[in-house]
Amino acid sequence: MAHNRTLEQQTKGVQGEGGKEGKEGEEGEEGEEGEEGEEGEEGRRGEEGEEGEEGEGKEGQKEKANQERGKQTGGMQERGGNGRGRGDKEKEMRLSSFKAYMFHANRLRLRVPDIHNVWLSTEMQTVIDQLDGYRDWTFLYSKNKRQLGSTQMLEYEKAAGLEQLVGVSFANLLIAAECDFFIGPLGSNWNRLINNLRSTNGRVHSGYVALNTGEW
């Protein structure tokens, strides 16, 4: 009897160990399946993340391209003022109001909607005073003393300092020549010089709106 009990106990022990091993095996398999599932999910998440990054990259490229197009700048050499203060320029040629310049700028924008910036070259303070009326444009211009009212050029040069005016004028010339488009009177020697420079730096095919031609 004792021997039989021992066998039964041993058998039960073996069965118990087998049960444990079976459970451990099942748990191990479940654990492996769980790890495989997690790895699969991580892989899918990784792929989705890469696809998302690629999508964001494409959107970023489009946005950058739009920003680049939005950086186009039109040049404007104003030689008229507002009709009340034009200095001595009206002795040289027929002058146009700043409103006329902006009329052509708005027409140009209908054809090229990405133009938002204007490099404005002017010696007249009355023109600068009108810029608040065109808030859908961004105006860039040099910071220097300008003519007031009917001030003659000689008086203006003496008040502003000839050396400073020469430097500012030269900077204005170089920047104006690099603009994507240009509006100005070709009756002005200065504007003809700008147009000639644009013909030598790759801007010859860019648009030029002439408000007058003078003797050109």
pLDDT at 156 over 70: yes
72, 112 in Cβ contact below 8 A?
A: yes
69: alpha, beta or left, given left = phi > 0 and alpha = psi -120 to 50? alpha
Is 126 in contact with 84 (CB distance < 8 Å)? yes
Asked whether the whole model's pTM tops 0.75, one would answer no
34 C-beta neighbours (distance < 10 Å), count: 10
Runs of H (alpha helix) within the chain: 2-70, 98-111, 125-128, 153-160, 162-177, 189-198
72-210 CATH: 3.40.50.11350
Domain extents for the chain? Answer: 1-70, 72-210
Q: Per-residue pLDDT tens for 7-44?
A: 344 444 434 444 444 444 445 455 455 455 555 555 55
Burial class (CB in 10 A: 0-12, 13-18, 19+), 90: middle
Tell me the CA distances in angstroms from 144 to 124, 156, 157, 167, one per residue in order.
11, 12, 12, 11
Residues composing the chain: 216
- Read off the tokens for 12: 């039960």
The percentage of residues in the chain with a pLDDT greater than 90, rounded to a whole number, is: 20
Residue 120 clears pLDDT 90, i.e. is over it: yes
**Torsion angle defined by CA atoms of residues 198, 113, 94 and 96, in that order, rounded to the nearest 10 degrees:** -140
Query: For the segment 185-197, what is each residue's pLDDT rounded down to a tens digit?
Result: 888 888 889 888 8
Q: Name the residue among 101, 115, 97, 121 with its Cα closest to residue 170.
A: 121
Confidence bin at 198 (pLDDT 50/70/90): confident
Cα–Cα distances in angstroms (integers) from residue 29 to residues 3, 17, 36, 115, 214, in the given order: 38, 18, 10, 66, 93
DSSP annotation string for 93-147: S----HHHHHHHHHHHHHH-TT--EEEEE-SBHHHHTTGGG-TTSEEE---S--B
Kindly report, residue by residue over 161-184, the tens digit of the pLDDT: 888 888 999 999 999 988 888 898
